[in-house]
Amino acid sequence: MEIAFYKSPLGYLEIKAQDGALVSVGFVNSIPSPNRQRLSSLLNKACQQLDEYFAGKRKNFNLPLEPLGTSFQQKVWQEIQNIEYAKTKTYAEIACQIGKPKACRAVGQANNKNPIAIIIPCHRVIGKSGKLTGYAAGLEIKQKLLLLEQENK
């Protein structure tokens, strides 16, 4: 397992890769000190693409992903990747798109378990009323990600 720490405008991200694919990107409160990293080309590419995303220059990520989860979670995460930059979809819309129109809550749970934040843009999934609901890193970060995208679309 390769691990990198990335300082984003919203806090530190821990990026994990294994066997040539990203398996995890998540917000962390702090990084190990001293943080002397020798990054693989994949982790360097992930950090570069995150730089571009936060600068408003990247709308889509081009990285190999291997999020670990159930087959249902995999379907949800795959569908979430189809949400366009600066757009949102509801849990109900995602449920319908994966052929499980009554599975809104299960979609919400899968969204919450997304191991690859930002790159699999679960921050773009909102409640039926249009309100921001649930985000593992907190609603403030979800709101800031959506605002960043709106400002750079």
**Tokens (6 digits) for 40:** 């693989």
Percent share of the chain, pLDDT over 70: 96
DSSP, collapsed to helix, strand or coil, labels residue 108 as: helix
DSSP, collapsed to helix, strand or coil, labels residue 94 as: helix
pLDDT tens by residue, 51-102 = 999 999 999 999 999 999 999 999 999 999 999 999 999 999 999 999 999 9
C-alpha angle with apex 6: 75 to 35, nearest 5 degrees? 130
* Residue 106 pLDDT grade (very low, low, confident, very high; cuts 50, 70, 90): very high
Residue 104 is a catalytic residue: no
Q: What is the pTM of this model?
A: 0.92
**Tokens (6 digits) for 94:** 């995602």
Domain ranges for the chain, please list them: 2-54, 71-152
Looking at domain 71-152, its CATH architecture is Orthogonal Bundle (1.10)
Tell me the pLDDT of the chain averaged across its residues: 93
Residue ranges of alpha helices (H) inside the chain are 41-54, 71-80, 91-97, 104-112, 139-152
